[in-house]
Structure 1
Amino acid sequence: MGWWAVAMATAVSLVVGPQLVVAEEAGSVLQDILKIMRENGQITEEQKTELLRRAQQEVDRAKIEREQMEKERMGALQAGIDKGRPFLQSADGDVRIELGGRLQVDYAAVESNTRRLTGPSLVDEFYARRGRLELSGTFYRWIDFRVECEMSSIAHNTISTPTSGTSEVCLNDAYLDFRFSPELALRVGQFVLPFGYEETYSNKYTDQIERSIVDELEPEYSVGVSLHGSLLSGIVGYEVGVANAGDGGIGSARNVAPINNGKDAFGKIILAPFKTTGNYWLKGLQLEGETMWGDEGPGTSPQGRTMARGNARFTWFGAQTTNGDRTRYGGDLQWAVGPAALRFEYLEVLNQRRRMGPGGRSLDDVDAAGWFISGAWILTGENKVLNGPVEPRHPFSPFAANSGWGAWEVTLRYAELTFDSKNPLTFLGGAGSVAVGPATTDGAEAITAGVNWYLNRWVRYMINWNNYWYDNPYATPLSCRRQTACSAAQLHRRQDPTSWELLTRMAIWF
């Protein structure tokens, strides 16, 4: 029976060998071998037929097993943590979902005996500035999504009154990105509108605790659609689109219907001319220009406020009643070189006041304009990234044998915000208020000095000192000395129209 063993061994090796030869190839080679054996009289015709039948069964079985293994491989989930973020991913990489979050706990200390113009005292307090969870991912390598939920009641710039201590859960980002190519993507949903850079850059990576007083001119979230992309290997970027119009200077339409059914058209261009050159001094230079326009109908203008939140925030210029078009334009420069970064931004917002004057005539626009310049230097030498984390070379980990002191950074920022019109403004805002001091212009300047301690890539402690100079000496935190709202006649003129506040933050994110 040696011939039978030889024939079976040959058949099996051809069928279930390392390469798992397909049925057609195995059958062809095996038939040739069995034909030779039959011609040499080593096997009968019946034996040849039986060997071919059994060989085909082995081929079919191997194919089934291989297909099953492929299905199991394709259906398997991979899980892990990538740069601090938990993720789930299909084995083929077609589906990936990531979980992220952040928590920011702040403390604000204000100058003693300071009050709002409406009477209540400004107070020192702790507050949860932000508490967010986010879910993001990619389907089939070209469809991205992002959903973010905010659980802090004072997280957004829209809050202008003292908080009641109750919490809210609301939707921030909720959009889909269809990435047809690096040059073209379609975004649909609720997202931060691309005007200015302070709002479009994550608060996880800002140099100061709060964005500047000029941030009053930047919109937040809105529901809309945009086209965006990157050209020439990232040298040029753009975004154009249309979204629901929001009320107020910041124009937020987050989770609300558009004001008066209005829409904002927007466009932004980003230039990084030396990004691909590798030039140490210039590769981190970036320029941006943007504009927005919409017919808002009845609405309100931007307002002027200090940077603290909660019961420590002071409004020094009230929002003006407006009617008509709202036009925004601005530009900024950002420049990162090694451990240092320099930032400059100028923004302007024009709100029309159609038919709001005596006899139905139109009043001059409310013109809000602001600019700031900011610098940051990482003393421990780590590289500064314009919109990304600082990664300490020696993270602070007191329970590790090789713990370092993390990364240390100092920052300084100067900002100005002014409001102007050829017709009178009511700086207190609201019904019945009248102008005190400058009737057609108001403004403030602010300087922020800060220190940031990056314990590791995901944890940062910050401390900022903010000092303000008010153009209107009747509109300072020390101008109202009553427990209730002050009328214009009850406001005191300050010889030194300034105030200060101290902010600290402990932040963690993943």
Structure 2
Amino acid sequence: MIGGLGKMNRMLLAGVCAVALLATGVTAAKAGDDEDLDLKVKWKGAPEFSSKDGAFKFKVRGRIMVDYTNADQDFAITGEPDVDATELRRGRLGVEGVVYHDVKYKFEYDFAGDGEVTDAYLQYKGLPVDITLGQFKTPNSLEEQTSSRFITFMERAAITDAFDLERQLGAGLSYKKEQWTAAAGIFGRNIADEANEEGTTFAARVTAAPILTDRRVVHLGASYRSRDNGDYEDLGLYRYRQRAADFHLTDRFVNTGQIGESDDLWGLESAVVLGSFSLQGEYMQLTSEVPADIDFSTHSPTYDGWYLSASYFLTGEMRNYDEGEFDRVHVNHPVNEGGWGAWQIAGRYDTIDLSEGGCEECGEQNTWLIGVNWHLNDYTRLMLNVNQSEIDGGINDGADITGVGLRAQVDW
């Protein structure tokens, strides 16, 4: 019966179930006597239920991000019209928890777009290294490892999308200490892909924070990924592309098309936090292997890209660092308590070079972004981005794409 429900009905049903679970737990917590009821409730955007000894935990989690984009796509050169549209960028609902201290689980579904499973994994934490099985992010890139809830701009830097960093089904090992981390994994396809032969991906990342105090952080990291898509007639060849002005609703004017049967990616990353000021940057290079029957000027093209971003909190907050990634901003004076919230200004320069190979849309894209973020409290923020991309090379050579984006976001 559930399989026959429409997408909206499934979404409503999931929401009703989540609310029912929360209501049941809260009612039980209120009705029970502390000495008899083995239940603790802690609010973390939504209530987290746990046993008194911490052996079991359960929380309904999710996020809503609603975007508006207005962009001039330089129709005279690209042939693509202006963008003036809204979208549900992310609408996720899921659960996470702990079973008998050592087994962590997480499942989340995104109802935005066509809908997809995002995270779906089990993690065993009873050994010196954590063992993760299921679908999760390959260990690459500071920008990618930082949740979309906590990134500084509406979209991540171009290299993460162009080089196809994503969640995949696999098995991984990770070791995290306060000042350094190491992770590696073997992966197959994404849950959404269907293939009899899915190929293999190996990925690894190490990070170190030689300086880590309450108000100062220096982060250094490196990662590597190697992919082979096996029988590419099943899943198709790899392609490398990026949206103009780093907006989700704009078109892709640098695009190699499907060319790669395997590729190797390596990246370097760094970040500095000095109180309210933060600086972050990454560089990545990818070499792709193109089959002999593909019409390409080189059969081992190399692509690269990098970004540098800076941000500053006018109201004294800081970007919080946690074991190799950035975490939630804690607002000093939330709006709901009569304060001004947290105000952050930011800028980023972003470049991706997909010019080698001589295809029609092979080219380089350089993007400037300016952003203002207003955190009303720890779980809600409004974002403004003003972006501009210039295209160099290919049939879209000389195009200038500019735009403004707005986002309203809440997570729990």
Gaps of 5+ in 1: 1-71, 154-167, 246-252, 429-440, 477-493
SS at match of 1:208: coil
SS at match of 1:346: strand
| Matched AA of 1:416 | T
Q: Is the counterpart of residue 169 in structure 1 residue 102 in structure 2?
A: no
Give the corresponding residue for 1:6.
none
Instruction: Out of 197-206 and 466-475, give the one that drifted further.
Output: 466-475
SS at match of 2:141: coil
| Matched AA of 2:239 | S
| Matched AA of 1:212 | A
Q: In structure 2, what is the Cα distance between the partners aligned to 1:452 and 1:323?
A: 38
- Comparing both chains, which one has the higher relative contact order based on Cα–Cα distances under 8 Å and sequence gaps of 6 or more? 2
Which of 32, 44, 49 is the matching residue for 1:88?
A: 49
Which of 380, 386, 389 is the matching residue for 1:468?
A: 389
Give the corresponding residue for 1:322.
259
Q: In structure 2, what is the Cα distance between the partners aligned to 1:268 and 1:128?
A: 32
Q: Is the counterpart of residue 289 in structure 1 residue 210 in structure 2?
A: no
Instruction: Report how many aligned residue pairs link the two structures.
Output: 369
Q: In structure 2, what is the Cα distance between the partners aligned to 1:79 and 1:279?
A: 29
Q: Is the counterpart of residue 147 in structure 1 residue 107 in structure 2?
A: yes
Q: In structure 2, what is the Cα distance between the partners aligned to 1:264 and 1:206?
A: 26
Give the corresponding residue for 2:188.
244
Instruction: Sort the Cα spacing of 1:266 and 1:127 in 2 relative to 1 into closer, same or farther, 3 A.
Output: same
Q: Is the counterpart of residue 392 in structure 1 residue 328 in structure 2?
A: no
For 1:33-112, what aligned pairs fall within 5 Å after superposition?
A: 76-111=37-72
Instruction: Sort the Cα spacing of 1:348 and 1:98 in 2 relative to 1 into closer, same or farther, 3 A.
Output: same
SS at match of 1:382: coil
Q: Is the counterpart of residue 305 in structure 1 residue 243 in structure 2?
A: yes
Q: In structure 1, what is the Cα distance between the partners aligned to 2:147 and 2:80?
A: 32
Q: Is the counterpart of residue 227 in structure 1 residue 227 in structure 2?
A: no
CA apart distance, 1:83: 2.5
Give the corresponding residue for 2:163.
217
| Matched AA of 1:411 | A
Q: In structure 2, what is the Cα distance between the partners aligned to 1:140 and 1:330?
A: 37
Q: Is the counterpart of residue 372 in structure 1 residue 307 in structure 2?
A: yes
SS at match of 2:142: coil
Q: In structure 1, what is the Cα distance between the partners aligned to 2:293 and 2:207?
A: 38
SS at match of 1:210: coil
Q: In structure 2, what is the Cα distance between the partners aligned to 1:505 and 1:309?
A: 12
| Matched AA of 1:425 | G
Contact 2:383 2:407 in 1 (8 A): yes
Instruction: Sort the Cα spacing of 1:123 and 1:362 in 2 relative to 1 into closer, same or farther, 3 A.
Output: closer
CA apart distance, 1:115: 7.9
Give the corresponding residue for 1:126.
86
Coordinate RMSD, CA, aligned: 2.5
SS at match of 1:91: coil
Contact 1:220 1:254 in 2 (8 A): no
Contact 1:199 1:218 in 2 (8 A): no
Contact 1:228 1:239 in 2 (8 A): yes
| Matched AA of 2:58 | I
Give the corresponding residue for 1:207.
152
Q: In structure 2, what is the Cα distance between the partners aligned to 1:383 and 1:74?
A: 40
Residue deviations 1:368-408, cap 9 Å, x none? 210000011000111221422222211113xxxx5111110
Contact 1:300 1:319 in 2 (8 A): no
Instruction: Sort the Cα spacing of 1:129 and 1:116 in 2 relative to 1 into closer, same or farther, 3 A.
Output: farther
SS at match of 1:301: strand
Q: Is the counterpart of residue 137 in structure 1 residue 97 in structure 2?
A: yes
**Per residue, is there more strand in 1 or in 2?**
2
Contact 2:239 2:260 in 1 (8 A): no
CA apart distance, 1:288: 1.2
SS at match of 2:404: strand
Give the corresponding residue for 1:34.
none
Q: In structure 2, what is the Cα distance between the partners aligned to 1:468 and 1:413?
A: 12
Q: Is the counterpart of residue 504 in structure 1 residue 403 in structure 2?
A: no
Residue deviations 1:93-141, cap 9 Å, x none? 2111011111011100012763895x55232011111101120001111
Contact 1:103 1:130 in 2 (8 A): yes
Contact 2:355 2:393 in 1 (8 A): no
Q: In structure 1, what is the Cα distance between the partners aligned to 2:370 and 2:200?
A: 38
Task: Kindly name which structure, 1 or 2, has the bigger radius of gyration based on alpha carbons.
Answer: 1
Give the corresponding residue for 2:350.
415
Which of 447, 452, 473 is the matching residue for 2:373?
A: 452
**TM-score under structure 2 length normalisation:** 0.83
SS at match of 2:75: coil
Q: In structure 2, what is the Cα distance between the partners aligned to 1:302 and 1:75?
A: 58
Give the corresponding residue for 2:142.
197
SS at match of 2:159: helix
Contact 2:73 2:400 in 1 (8 A): no
CA apart distance, 1:325: 2.3
Which of 286, 290, 294 is the matching residue for 1:353?
A: 290
The percentage of aligned residue pairs carrying the same residue is 22
| Matched AA of 1:264 | T
Gaps of 5+ in 2: 1-32
Q: In structure 2, what is the Cα distance between the partners aligned to 1:112 and 1:322?
A: 26
SS at match of 2:210: coil
Instruction: Sort the Cα spacing of 1:102 and 1:425 in 2 relative to 1 into closer, same or farther, 3 A.
Output: same
Q: In structure 1, what is the Cα distance between the partners aligned to 2:286 and 2:188?
A: 17
